[in-house]
Chains A and B, each alone.
Chain A
Amino acid sequence: EAQVTQNPRYLITVTGKKLTVTCSQNMNHEYMSWYRQDPGLGLRQIYYSMNVEVTDKGDVPEGYKVSRKEKRNFPLILESPSPNQTSLYFCASSSRSSGRNYNEQFFGPGTRLTVL
């Protein structure tokens, strides 16, 4: 089954404790992105990657890191989480050549992060 998976789905942590949220897709998509969703602000793009070893900042990259060492994986790293990073996080993947629509994004199920 074609899908995007994220782990963990739920995480409660404390300020300053480094964490990684994993994202994996099995559709051989070249593009992957991370978003956060906050009430009243909608989804905002944190980082995106156009292919292996190619990443770029989105709208709200501060406090986050990413890496793209393999095509299928795109982990999100919070080196020193703070309470303002409490949010719902989505990973997404897409390809210009797949999906029923040009550049359709497929989203993972989300990771709900709470930083105390």
Chain B
Amino acid sequence: RKEVEQDPGPFNVPEGATVAFNCTYSNSASQSFFWYRQDCRKEPKLLMSVYSSGNEDGRFTAQLNRASQYISLLIRDSKLSDSATYLCVVSQGTGNQFYFGTGTSLTVIP
């Protein structure tokens, strides 16, 4: 069983739409949770950390449900520039063992 599972998509949405991505993780001892963004053939970049209380950064909202071992990312008012692959990431152990989901592909259409 994979440590982190994501729906690969692709998600094709019109500009202005709201889109949600989900991710599940298998190890209940996982410590930290993140969403990264990766543009084609480029390095991943941190989008936001995910906290137990939920957190928001502009149009992006992340939620963590430890009981269900579930992480979500909500993007409101999608922009063309949001087109990318979104990676769900969890850390375990000393906090430096990272497990990545395979990513969810998003294309925002004009």
Q: Which residues of A contact B (CB under 8 A)?
A: 31, 33, 35, 40-45, 48, 50, 58-59, 88, 90, 94, 96, 99-105, 107-110
Contact of B42 among A40, A45, A50, A110 (CB under 8 A): A110
**Contact call A101/B46, Cβ cutoff below 8 A:** yes
Residue of B nearest to A112 (CB): B41
Q: Which residues of B contact A (CB under 8 A)?
A: 4, 32, 34, 41-46, 48-49, 87, 91, 94-103
**Contact call A43/B100, Cβ cutoff below 8 A:** yes
**Contact call A90/B43, Cβ cutoff below 8 A:** yes
A45 vs B4: C-alpha distance when bound (angstroms): 13
**Contact call B94/A50, Cβ cutoff below 8 A:** yes
**Contact call B43/A45, Cβ cutoff below 8 A:** no
Residue of A nearest to B102 (CB): A42
Which residues of B are found within 8 Å of A90, using beta-carbon distances?
Answer: 43-44
Contact of A43 among B34, B44, B45, B46 (CB under 8 A): B44
Q: A48-B96, A59-B99, A105-B46 are in contact. List 14 more A-B contacts (CB 8 A).
A: A31-B96, A33-B98, A40-B102, A42-B4, A42-B103, A45-B97, A48-B97, A90-B44, A96-B95, A101-B34, A102-B49, A103-B32, A110-B41, A110-B43
